[in-house]
Structure 1
Amino acid sequence: MGANGDMKKVDKQTALEGGFFNFFKGLVSEFKRITWASKEHTKKATIAVIVFCAIYVVIVGVIDFGFNSLAKIIMK
């Protein structure tokens, strides 16, 4: 049990030694490893999302209109 307690102290000490600035150094190095999408691919993906959303809005609007009309007919 004593060895386990010593291990916790060492882990806490190394975490404190890593510190705030080392976190951001690691963050910057990870950002450099990212392969970002090209501008053209991003444009195509954005257009696809906008088109999908527009189609979805139209479908939901038609269904809403249909249920609204059906409810008015039933309530008469």
Structure 2
Amino acid sequence: MTATRGNTNAGRIIGEKVQVRRDGTVVGGSIVEDFADSLVPGDQMGREWALPHRWAIALDTGVLVFVDDNDLVEDSAGKPQ
């Protein structure tokens, strides 16, 4: 599958520590899965609700969240943290 709803950040790896924007705050966590190969573009889903997300992130708080590239925080140089 080539289209990933605009998710093009191929520089991240499973196990990497990341910062995630959640509910107006930034929290830390680790990538536990990358679903880029199994994403279907929204216009091909046949619906606009419950669209899948690219990344599974285990937050430092113990919560598992599913996010896209735009939910991950990058440093001031534009590089992933």
Normalising by structure 1, we get a TM-score of 0.16
Return the structure number with greater relative CO, CA threshold 8 A, min gap 6. Answer: 2
More helix, by proportion = 1
Normalising by structure 2, we get a TM-score of 0.16
Q: Highest Rg: 1 or 2?
A: 1
